[in-house]
Amino acid sequence: MDLTIDISRLWGELETLAAYSDAPAPAVTRVLYTEVDRGARSYLKELFAQAGLAVREDALGNTFARWQGTEADLTPVASGSHIDAIPHSGRFDGTVGVLGALEAFRALTAADFAPRRSIDLILFTAEEPTRFGLGCLGSKALAGVLSPSALRALRDDEGKSPDQARREAGFGGQLEEVALPDGHYHAFVELHIEQGPLLERDGVAIGVVEAIAAPATLRLTLRGEGGHAGAVLMPQRKDALTAGAEITLAVEAAAKGSGSTDSVATVGILDVHPRAVNSIPSEVVLTADVRDIDLERRDRMVAQIREAATRVVSARGIELGLEVINADDPARCAPEVIAAVRDAATAAGVSSTPLISRAYHDASFMARICPTGMIFIPCRGGVSHRPDEYVSPAALEAGVRVLARTLARLAG
Ligand code: HGY
Ligand code: MN
Ligand code: MN
C-alpha cells in the first residue's frame, strides 16, 4: 500500500493545538475542562468532522471519532491518546497519538483503504493527574477500573468533584454509562513519544512497546506545631518541613537502593503551610510518584517509604497521615498487537526495537479490556514534560506511517 503522510498539515495542526495553552509558548499547560482544554477539544472535533468521522462524547468527555467499517457487525478497532498537558510541559506528549491517528486515517483513505472493522479515534479525558490527583481518569473509567462513586469522591484544589467540573464544562449524561463492556474493542494501539532516550541513542525509528510500568502515588501529610521563627528555640521545634525534607530524601533513597535502575521515585509536589518566611511550617503535604516495571519491587519501595516516614516523624514528634492515592499494576501489551506493529514497521521500511514504557498511558487501562499495543517514536534527548520536548517531522512521519499500517492490519 502506497501511503502518503501529509506531515506539513499534521505539523500545522500540532502547532494550532499547542496554542490552546495557559502557559506562554513553547511551554504548554492544558488542564482538564479549562477554557483552553475546551477550545482544543472543539478544534479537534472540527477536524474529526471535516475528515468525515462520526463524533460522540461520553459523560467525562472521552471523545470517540468513528471511521465506519464495511462490516458493521465486526467489533471495532481503536487508536488515540490524550491532549491534556501538565503545567509548563511540551506540545507532543499525547497529542501525536490523537492528531497522528487522524492523519493515519486520512492517509489510508487517500490510499483507497476501507477498513472492514470500524476504527475509533479516542481522545481520552484527563490522562494527566494535574487536576484531580489521579492519572488516566478517562481511560480508567472506560475500563471500569474507576467506578462512578470513586470518581465522585475525587476533589480538585477548589473542592470541586469531577461530576461538578464536567457538567460545568458542558458534558452531560451519566457516569454510569462511561464504562465499556469487555470485548467492546477488537484491539487498541496508541502512538506516543518515547519520553526516554533509547530510540534516539540507538538510532531506531520505532519502539514496539511490550509492557508499561506500574505507577503508585502517595500523599503524605505531616503536622507539626508551627510558631514564631524567632521565638521558638530549636530544641522545642516540631517543624513539619524539615521532617518532609528528610522523608523526601528517603523517597529518593528507596529508588536508588532498590537494586534496579527500573525503580524510580519522585516528590513532585510539596505544599507548605503557612508558607511565611518567619513562621515555622506547621503542616506539609508531599506527593510522591513511585514506579517500577516490577510490581513487587515497586511495592517494596512503597513499604520502605512508609517505614522511613514513620521513623522520621516519631523522632521529631510530628503527626503523619499517609494515603496511597493509586497503585496500578503494570500493563502487558498483547502479542498480536505487538506483532502487527513490528510487521507494520518492517513493511514501512523503518527500524524497530522492543521497548518497555516507563511512563504510564491510556493504553495501560485499555489493556484491561482489549488486546493493546503502543508505538513509540524518538523525542530529542528523551526530554518530555518540559517546554523543550521535541519530535522531528521525519520521526513523526515514520510513526504515523507505521500506525496507519498497523491499523490496516488490525481493522482488516
Ligand atoms: O506520568 C506519566 O507517566 C504520564 O505522562 N502521565
Ligand atoms: Mn505526560
Ligand atoms: Mn502521555
- Which pLDDT does position 182 carry in this prediction? 83
Instruction: Give the separation between CA 194 and CA 213, rounded to whole angstroms.
Output: 13
- Cα dist from 302 to 100, 263, 264, 296, 314, whole Å: 37, 11, 11, 10, 18
Would you say the CB of residue 135 lies under 6 angstroms from ligand 1? yes
- Which pLDDT does position 2 carry in this prediction? 87
- Would you say the pTM of this structure is higher than 0.85? yes
Residue 229 has pLDDT above 90, yes or no: yes
| For ion ligand 2, residues whose CB falls within 5 Å | 93
Would you say the CB of residue 190 lies under 6 angstroms from ligand 1? no
Cell 497522528, residue located: 100
Instruction: Tell me the pLDDT tens digit for each residue of 282-326.
Output: 999 999 999 999 999 999 999 999 999 999 999 999 999 999 999
Instruction: Tell me the pLDDT tens digit for each residue of 56-97.
Output: 999 999 999 999 999 999 999 999 999 999 999 999 999 999
Q: What atom of ligand 1 comes closest to residue 215's alpha carbon?
A: 3
Edge-to-edge strand ranges of the sheet holding 214-223: 264-273, 283-292, 214-223, 319-327
Instruction: Tell me the pLDDT tens digit for each residue of 375-390.
Output: 999 999 999 999 999 9
Residue minimizing CA distance to atom 5 of ligand 1? 359
Would you say the CB of residue 360 lies under 6 angstroms from ligand 1? yes
Would you say the CB of residue 119 lies under 6 angstroms from ligand 1? no
- Which pLDDT does position 252 carry in this prediction? 98
Residue 104 has pLDDT above 90, yes or no: yes
Ligand 2 center from residue 11 Cα (angstroms): 20
Confidence of residue 247 (pLDDT cuts 50, 70, 90): very high
- Which pLDDT does position 381 carry in this prediction? 98
Of 357, 361, 379, 384, the one to substitute when testing ligand 1's pocket (max ligand atoms within 8 A of C-beta) is 361
Instruction: Give the separation between CA 84 and CA 93, rounded to whole angstroms.
Output: 9
Q: Are 244 and 283 in contact (CB under 8 A)?
A: no
Q: What is the DSSP string of 289-327?
A: EEEESSHHHHHHHHHHHHHHHHHHHHHHT-EEEEEEEEE
Q: What atom of ligand 1 comes closest to residue 289's alpha carbon?
A: 1
Cell 478544534, residue located: 43
Q: What atom of ligand 1 comes closest to residue 127's alpha carbon?
A: 6
Residue 1 has pLDDT above 90, yes or no: no
Of 130, 293, 298, 385, the one to substitute when testing ligand 1's pocket (max ligand atoms within 8 A of C-beta) is 385
- Which pLDDT does position 105 carry in this prediction? 98
Residue minimizing CA distance to atom 6 of ligand 1? 128
- Which pLDDT does position 199 carry in this prediction? 98
Instruction: Tell me the pLDDT tens digit for each residue of 176-193.
Output: 999 999 889 999 999 999
- Rg, C-alpha atoms of the chain: 22
Mean pLDDT within 328-356 = 97
Confidence of residue 258 (pLDDT cuts 50, 70, 90): very high
Instruction: Tell me the pLDDT tens digit for each residue of 145-171.
Output: 999 999 999 999 999 999 999 999 999
Print burial letters for 344-374: b (CB count within 10 Å at least 16), e (below 16): bbebbebebeebbbbbbbbbbbbbbbbbbbb
Instruction: Give the separation between CA 151 and CA 148, rounded to whole angstroms.
Output: 5
H or E element that contains 153: helix 148-153
